[in-house]
Chain A
Amino acid sequence: MRASVVVFPGSNCDRDVAVSLEKLTGHKPAMVWHGEPQVPDSDLIVLPGGFSYGDYLRSGAMAAHSPIMADVVAKARKGIAVLGICNGFQVLTESGLLPGVLMRNASLKFICRDVWLRVERADTIFTKGYAKGDVIRVPIAHHDGNYYADDETLDALEGEGRVALRYCDAAGEVSDEANPNGSRASIAGLLDESGRVLGLMPHPERLADAALGGTDGASLFASLLETFH
């Protein structure tokens, strides 16, 4: 699997995700500065977590217009897999690759803790290592993770099965109490219409090694490796 990780000014999970990918594949992913015109030929492009451009204007808004993003969007439209984690998810919505927007958390607080997620789709290139209904533990660390889309968009997303991951409790029940940030429909991870672009607020790369306290996130990277070898 050839992977590239885009590095924006203010990215801070780029190395974490690179370590997760290298550990699994044995190859270092290409680290691509946002000012480059093109991403090298890759099976997977990762937009990592962090605070690109200091979250100025809106989280992800400036990064979505970085020089590299025109090529990321073009490659995504051609079917190259794109994974946006946390700030990467915000960049995906701001660049139009995913619908909706990630607003300030309903509590207005920055939330940094492990949450439970229910796997809603286990038939995608990102999630085939899980089973549908699996409840996994992955950390979140964000201020702007409150997913919003209007009713019509939300209905379409649900109808098309585009919600890959939902916030839930330890038993897998989805409820307002188990929704950390106010996201509509408890959406934690969302696919594009092709199923080859995934944005998620939780950080699978932060719990992908037993030494860090858990490995629930590792299956996401294993799913991609299984897809691309």
Chain B
Amino acid sequence: MKARIKITLKNGVLDPQGKAIANALGALGFGGVEAVRQGKYIELELAESDPARAEAEVKAMCEQLLANTVIENYQFELEPA
């Protein structure tokens, strides 16, 4: 299966990189950008084919390594290979 994982900063956590991106977009003339939050996107190719087991496995990976849950949220989608 394939897992597509999105990791984003929690609300309330300052995102200076997002702010810099917003400023740069403004400088390029894109005036309508009210806020930018940036994050990470990770794709995994999993040997596991059972969706329930894959979900549990990816959740554990996010909790233990891929996200730092002090400051980050994660969400993911699974799709058959």
Write the residues of chain A forming the contact surface with B, with a CB cutoff of 8 angstroms: 57-58, 61, 65, 93-94, 99-101, 103-108, 148-150, 182
Q: Is B70 an interface residue (CB 8 A)?
A: yes
Q: Which residues of B contact A (CB under 8 A)?
A: 12-14, 16-17, 20, 64-66, 68, 70-71
Nearest residue, chain B, Cβ from A101? B70
Contact A100 B70 (CB under 8 A): yes
Interface SS majority for chain A = loop
A–B Cβ pairs within 8 angstroms, 11 of them: A57-B65, A57-B66, A65-B64, A101-B70, A101-B71, A103-B13, A104-B16, A105-B16, A108-B17, A148-B13, A148-B14
The residue on A at minimum CB distance from B69 is: A101
Nearest neighbor of A153 in chain B, beta-carbon distance: B70
Residues of A within 8 A of B66 (CB): 57
Q: Nearest residue in B to A99 (C-beta to C-beta)?
A: B70
User: Closest residue to A151 on the B side, CB-wise?
Assistant: B12
Find chain A residues with CB under 8 A from B64 CB. Answer: 65
CA distance A107 to B14 in the complex (A): 12
Given known contacts A61-B68, A105-B16, what 9 new A-B pairs fall within 8 Å (CB)? A58-B68, A65-B64, A65-B65, A99-B70, A101-B70, A103-B14, A103-B71, A104-B16, A108-B17
Q: Please pick, from B12, B17, B70, the residue contacting A104 in the complex, using a CB distance under 8 A.
A: B17
